[in-house]
Amino acid sequence: MAAYMYEYRVKGLVKAPAQVAGEIMEQLEQSEAGLSPATLLDASRDENAPLHGEFEWRDDVAAEQYRLNQAGGIIRNVYRITVETQEKAPVRAFVSTGERQQAYVSIATALTNEKWRENLLESAKRDMQSFIAKYRNLDELSEVLTAMQKAV
């Protein structure tokens, strides 16, 4: 029996069972090479590997997908600062609409669309749950964590 149960945070993106993927990553972590994108890719090269089908092996298609991933990284990395108030905490300039075809809109636009606003709120709640789980042992943050728990 596996030591851990694995699930995907976002379901439907990967066809292989999360438990299988998690156990492979667990094995890689314990190996001399360790777990990294490169070692996971290498472990999946064999056509019989459980995660082989999760990767695009045709170089022409993979190159375009890589550029699309780079473009998405640029979009997710652009933050904005409010000029009028010289706001010190930048916010993401564009957020995902949460729809299957990775689309992004300005945060102002997302707030005007009920579905996108709800997706943004759900994303915020997931982020808060991650924050709570990561920092629950820090007594200095107990008030913040309590407030976040009430919000989620």
Query: In total, how many domains does the chain have?
Result: 2
Query: Which pLDDT value is given to residue 1?
Result: 45
3-state DSSP of the chain: CCCCCCCCCCCCCCCCCHHHHHHHHHHHHHCCCCCCHHHHHHHCCCCCCCCHHHCCCCHHHHHHHHHHHHHHHHHHHCEECCCCCCCCCCEECEEECCCCCCCEEEHHHHHHCHHHHHHHHHHHHHHHHHHHHHHCCCHHHHHHHHHHHHHC
**Where is the domain boundary, 27, 55, 83?**
55
Do 72 and 146 share a domain, yes or no? yes
Q: Is the pLDDT of residue 100 over 80?
A: no
**Where is the domain boundary, 10, 39, 55?**
55
Range of the domain at 1: 1-55
Do 64 and 37 share a domain, yes or no? no
Do 85 and 15 share a domain, yes or no? no
Do 39 and 64 share a domain, yes or no? no
Do 71 and 112 share a domain, yes or no? yes
pTM for the predicted model, two decimal places = 0.56
Tens of pLDDT along 121-149? 998 999 999 999 999 999 999 999 999 99
Do 71 and 118 share a domain, yes or no? yes
Do 145 and 82 share a domain, yes or no? yes
Do 74 and 140 share a domain, yes or no? yes
Q: Of 24-33, 49-58, 64-73, where does the model show the most confidence?
A: 49-58
Query: Which pLDDT value is given to residue 108?
Result: 82
Do 81 and 132 share a domain, yes or no? yes
Q: Is the pLDDT of residue 66 over 80?
A: yes
Do 72 and 42 share a domain, yes or no? no
Q: Which tokens in the block code for residue 135?
A: 């920092």
